[in-house]
Amino acid sequence: MHWYEEAVFYHIYPLGFLNAEKNNDFTREPVNRFQNLNEWLDYFTELGITAVYFGPLFESSRHGYDTADYFRIDRRLGTNNDFASIVRNLHDRNIKVVLDGVFHHVGRDFWAFRDLQEKKGESPYASWFTGVNFNQRSPYNDSFSYEAWEGHFDLVKLDLKNQSVKDHLFEACKSWILEYDIDGLRLDVAYCLDWEFLKDLRNVCKSIKEDFWIMGEVLHGDYRLWANPLMLDSVTNYECYKGLYSSHNDANYFEIAHSLERQFGPSGLYRDMLLYSFADNHDVNRVASLLKHKPHLYPLYILLFTMPGIPSLYYGSEWGMEGTKNNGDDSALRPVLEKSRLFSNAPQPALFEAIKKLIRIRRENRALLNGTYSTIQTKSRQFVFLREREGERIIVAVNADEKPADMDLSSIGNGNTSFRDLLNNETLFYRGRKVIITIPPNWARIGSFSNK
């Protein structure tokens, strides 16, 4: 089994998490903020985290996605050696490390773009960027125009068909693997990346580290176009991200049930894939802010950790932290996190323990890691499904109502059956013709039937 098949991710946006300055002063000496992560190592272990995904951490102008140097750690976070040290500490606890690979575009402080600004048509790097036109000016009043990511001209689009660009990026990836011993990449805006580039990137990384994991940010479309044996190992499951919260807000479990069956059921499009599952991230409003009813955080996270896929927690959301975008400003989504204040002022103090238990149940039951999926029963506020692997059968029965709900599971149990509930640490016994299971409000039962 590959490490990522049983991974539980913790997603950190380091510039926010570690309270770095909003703007980079490239003349300052590095400040080792990475060392502050050491106080979180026991926390990760207690929670059950097996992999950390770091958002962008290479030298950049502001938010990390405007790269200035792929070979240098952002001085606001520390030095290359500082980061290598924290990776070693994570590895010592058997926690894998995945970095953000931002390859579609760079920032205006990227050294090759600076050379283009200075030398214009004489720059050997003019061909590194797409759409360079010396007959018109850019919105920043450069003596040339260029293509940008979705109209954001602080993000200059690279030409990923240019071999020199590819060589530069691949050398950076090689250095990250060899210098830091990282275990994988999450590719920013993978839906915009050239497919031949993705194929070559895969070959480069896996030639150095065979179990290297590459996951791409994909919003819509057929995920198989990117996640396949020639390109990526996984992609972001935005379809189920939406279904997780809107199914609760609309009292409509049919939505998430439809997505899971469509994706992972017996005839599912992605039944043999492990997609990257999440409830929120650095780009979207915190799920605690999206939900109309806060107790729904519990059934939502139960679904996240029992449905097919590789689950990920966005830092702080395991305590019910809230945060919304404000006129395009993502700052509220990417705050500093101080452990002492978090523990004393958590919005949902019981959520952490619930998620910790869910992670443990997931890791102890292989059917929840990579077992098959089938829908058993769906109602507006109740949902039951089955995960199976090599004879192991785990039933997940979720209730998003304010009162207990009875579900008839006679189709998978019988009148001479007991149900061992792993979530609530109890065994339910049945006699007679029907098997009725009562699910507590805004909670679930997770377990298996056995014949007496």
Q: Do 422 and 290 share a domain, yes or no? A: no
Domain final residue, candidates 335, 350, 368:
368
Helix (H) or strand (E) holding 445: strand 443-451
Q: Do 325 and 405 share a domain, yes or no? A: no
Q: Do 354 and 291 share a domain, yes or no? A: yes
Q: From first to last of its 452 residues, what are the pLDDT tens digits of the chain?
A: 899 999 999 999 999 999 999 999 999 999 999 999 999 999 999 999 999 999 999 999 999 999 999 999 999 999 999 999 999 999 999 999 999 999 999 999 999 999 999 999 999 999 999 999 999 999 999 999 999 999 999 999 999 999 999 999 999 999 999 999 999 999 999 999 999 999 999 999 999 999 999 999 999 999 999 999 999 999 999 999 999 999 999 999 999 999 999 999 999 999 999 999 999 999 999 999 999 999 999 999 999 999 999 999 999 999 999 999 998 889 999 999 988 888 888 999 999 999 999 999 999 999 999 999 999 999 999 999 999 999 999 999 999 999 999 999 988 877 678 999 999 999 998 877 788 999 999 999 999 998 75
Domain final residue, candidates 333, 349, 368:
368
Two tokens at 405? 């709900």
**Residues 6+ positions from 141 with CB-CB distance below 8 Å:** none
The per-type count for the chain, helices as H runs and strands as E runs, is 13, 21
pLDDT of residue 1: 82
Q: Do 351 and 399 share a domain, yes or no? A: no
Distance CA 93, CA 95 (A): 5
Dmax (CA) for the chain in angstroms is 86
Q: Do 35 and 103 share a domain, yes or no? A: yes
Q: Do 208 and 239 share a domain, yes or no? A: yes
Q: How many CB atoms lie within 10 A of CB 271?
A: 13
State how far the alpha carbon of 33 is from the alpha carbons of 15, 174, 415, in Å: 9, 25, 60
Q: Do 192 and 252 share a domain, yes or no? A: yes
Q: Do 395 and 341 share a domain, yes or no? A: no
pLDDT of residue 340: 85
**Residues 6+ positions from 45 with CB-CB distance below 8 Å:** 93, 95
CATH number of 96's domain:
3.20.20.80
The total of structural domains in the chain comes to: 2
Q: Do 314 and 332 share a domain, yes or no? A: yes
- Which residue range forms the structural domain that includes residue 445? 370-451
pLDDT of residue 452: 57
Q: Do 333 and 386 share a domain, yes or no? A: no
Alpha helix (H) residue ranges in 124-283: 163-180, 195-208, 238-249, 253-264
Distance CA 121, CA 423 (A): 65
CATH number of 397's domain:
2.60.40.1180
Domain final residue, candidates 345, 368, 391:
368
Q: Do 363 and 271 share a domain, yes or no? A: yes
Q: Do 319 and 217 share a domain, yes or no? A: yes
